[in-house]
Structure 1
Amino acid sequence: MSLPKPMMRGLLAKRLRFHLPIAFTLALTAAIAFKYTVTEPKKRAYADFYKQYDAVKEFNAMREAGIFESVQPTGK
């Protein structure tokens, strides 16, 4: 009883024909999942924050707190 010879010629091409589409499908699925579970909620959170954000009010609050050295608080 002898073992059959292993197929060496064309083995990489045969394996790639099977594994390459699977790898691309998994990569695409992971990219889409990341987009909709991480980046879209983050974009929405930034948009909601900047709808309510008032830069002038924030600047005046920091100026009154004395954070800036070049801008004097009003009333001094």
Structure 2
Amino acid sequence: MSAALLPKPQMRGLLASRLKKHIVIASIFSFGCACLYKFGVADPRKQAYADFYKNFDARKTFEAMRETGIFESAPPKRK
């Protein structure tokens, strides 16, 4: 009588039925990770670069490095 109470185990299509569920879960998880990376890392990084280059003066930076003697081909200006 106890055998009638237990459901029969699934013998065919077990892999296919499990894969459907796990593919959906993996897709949702990967989409969530992609969104977290975009809004948590990529967008703040883009904003930081935009803020830095908003007032960046390449000529001024070059002259400062030139005065310290970093470049061999561009010696410091003589006074």
TM-score normalised according to structure 1 size: 0.87
Runs of 4+ in 1 over 2 A off after TM superposition: 1-8
CA RMSD, Structure 1 to Structure 2 (Å): 1.7
Q: Which residue of 2 aligns with 1:59?
A: 62
Rounded Cα–Cα distance in structure 1 between residues aligned with 2:11 and 2:51: 59
TM-score normalised according to structure 2 size: 0.84
What SS is found at the alignment partner of 1:53?
coil
Are 1:6 and 2:4 matched, yes or no? no
Rounded Cα–Cα distance in structure 2 between residues aligned with 1:73 and 1:19: 65
Rounded Cα–Cα distance in structure 1 between residues aligned with 2:7 and 2:25: 29
Rounded Cα–Cα distance in structure 1 between residues aligned with 2:29 and 2:75: 57
Rounded Cα–Cα distance in structure 2 between residues aligned with 1:18 and 1:67: 60
Unpaired segments ≥5 residues, structure 2: none
**Identical aligned residues as a percent:** 55
Rounded Cα–Cα distance in structure 2 between residues aligned with 1:71 and 1:23: 56
Question: How many residues matched?
Answer: 76
